[in-house]
């Protein structure tokens, strides 16, 4: 049965939610390192997730603490929630955000927010390396990488840089997925800026020739679900859904798209039917979303 996997920051849990929202159960508990990004390996039967790590002592309290210390990690469980395994231990990077994968090639890809990078490793955590490094000053929030997705057919990497909260500094970029040998990831000349001046783009999802993303910035164009054409030409962003409470996670199939927010809701946006409904209200801050046949 296909279910939604949602990461719950308050209960420190990975939840499994039925697609009609009628049933919510805890698949994995004890996620005490602030989980954020999640991806499912259907062939091997694994679920991977990133952790932001431990909030900085003395930093901001609540759901928006500081994560400048290098405490990020990456973990895995089987589809039944068992056999929890550390892939990259705490301190392997700074702040783990959205996670995606090319499972055919056996590689994971994720954004390191305060680490200002897009990172990759193999499925066992070996060969950890940066593909993009966006800056040297983690206090400069325009350097913060958050959302990531792949176009494996065209060998392209897409990512978001959110900017400061509600500042309208958000940008979305793309670059070749394969970093040329000897190229400095901090000095790439093949990066393409697709859009700038966005409210605060977060997670990404590529569907065919269309890129979709959540945005948690200031209204009216923030706290939205968005789409734009990226092939064969780059189009203008269009808002598909509004009114979220800090939109974060994004996943979907066919014309059905699920969006989570820090307000604790998951919404279903059915582009085919033209409907936009709250699927379930968890009440706790939610981050990453993924679909899994559990």
Task: Count up the domains in the chain and report the number.
Answer: 1
Rounded-to-10 torsion of CA 225, 228, 231, 232: 160
pLDDT band at 61 (very low <50, low <70, confident <90, very high): confident
Q: Compute the radius of gyration of the chain from its Cα atoms.
A: 17
φ and ψ at residue 143, rounded to 5 degrees? -85, -10
Q: Is the pLDDT of residue 224 over 90?
A: yes
CB-based burial label for 15 (10 Å; 0-12, 13-18, 19+):
buried
The DSSP call for residue 230 is -
The predicted-structure confidence for 102-154, as pLDDT tens digits, reads as follows 999 999 999 999 999 999 999 999 999 999 999 999 999 999 999 999 999 99
Task: Determine how β-strand 201-207 pairs with β-strand 96-102.
Answer: unpaired
- pLDDT tens readout for residues 14-29: 999 999 999 999 999 9
Mean pLDDT to the nearest integer, 169-184: 96
Asked whether 37 and 99 are in contact (CB, 8 A), the reply is yes
Distance of alpha carbon 280 from alpha carbon 249, whole angstroms: 14
Mean pLDDT value of segment 253-258? 96
Cβ partners under 8 Å of residue 22, min gap 6: none
Per the CB < 8 A criterion, the answer to whether 31 and 13 are in contact is yes
Q: Which CATH number belongs to the domain containing residue 98 in this structure?
A: 2.120.10.30
Separation of alpha carbons 254 and 239, rounded Å: 18
Find the domain containing 185 and state its range.
2-293
pLDDT given at position 65: 86
Q: In what order do the strands lie in the sheet with 192-198?
A: 145-151, 156-161, 170-176, 192-198
Alpha-carbon dihedral sign for residues 244, 117, 33, 125: positive
pTM for this structure?
Answer: 0.97
Under 8 Å CB-to-CB from 249, ≥6 apart: which residues?
6, 7, 203, 214, 258, 259, 260, 286, 287, 288, 289
Residue 59 has pLDDT above 80, yes or no: no
Inter-residue contact 133 to 93 (CB < 8 Å):
no
């Amino acid at each position: 049965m296909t279910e939604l996997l949602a990461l719950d920051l308050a209960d420190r849990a990975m939840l499994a939610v039925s697609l009609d929202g009628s049933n919510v159960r805890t698949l994995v508990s004890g996620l005490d390192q602030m989980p954020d990004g999640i991806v499912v390996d259907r062939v091997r039967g694994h679920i991977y997730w990133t952790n932001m790590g431990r909030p900085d002592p003395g930093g901001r309290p609540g759901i928006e603490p500081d994560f400048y210390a290098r405490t990020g990690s990456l973990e895995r469980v089987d589809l039944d929630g068992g056999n929890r395994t550390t892939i990259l231990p705490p301190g392997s990077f700074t702040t783990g955000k959205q996670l995606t994968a090319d499972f055919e090639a056996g590689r994971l890809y994720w954004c390191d927010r305060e680490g200002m990078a897009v990172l990759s490793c193999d499925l066992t955590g070996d060969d950890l390396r940066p593909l993009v490094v966006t800056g040297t000053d983690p206090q400069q929030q325009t350097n913060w990488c958050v959302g990531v997705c792949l176009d494996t057919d065209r060998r392209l990497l897409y990512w978001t840089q959110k900017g400061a909260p509600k500042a309208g500094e958000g940008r979305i970029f793309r670059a070749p997925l394969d970093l040329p040998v000897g190229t400095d990831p901090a000095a790439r000349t093949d990066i393409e800026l697709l859009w700038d001046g966005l409210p605060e783009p977060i997670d990404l999802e590529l569907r065919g020739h269309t890129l979709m993303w959540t945005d948690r910035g200031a209204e009216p164009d923030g706290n939205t679900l968005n789409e734009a054409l990226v092939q064969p030409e780059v189009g203008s962003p269009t808002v598909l859904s509004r009114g979220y409470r800090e939109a974060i996670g994004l996943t979907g199939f066919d014309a059905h798209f699920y969006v989570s927010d820090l307000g604790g809701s998951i919404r279903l946006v059915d582009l085919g039917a033209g409907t936009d409904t709250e699927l379930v209200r968890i009440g706790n801050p939610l981050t990453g979303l993924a679909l899994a046949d559990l």
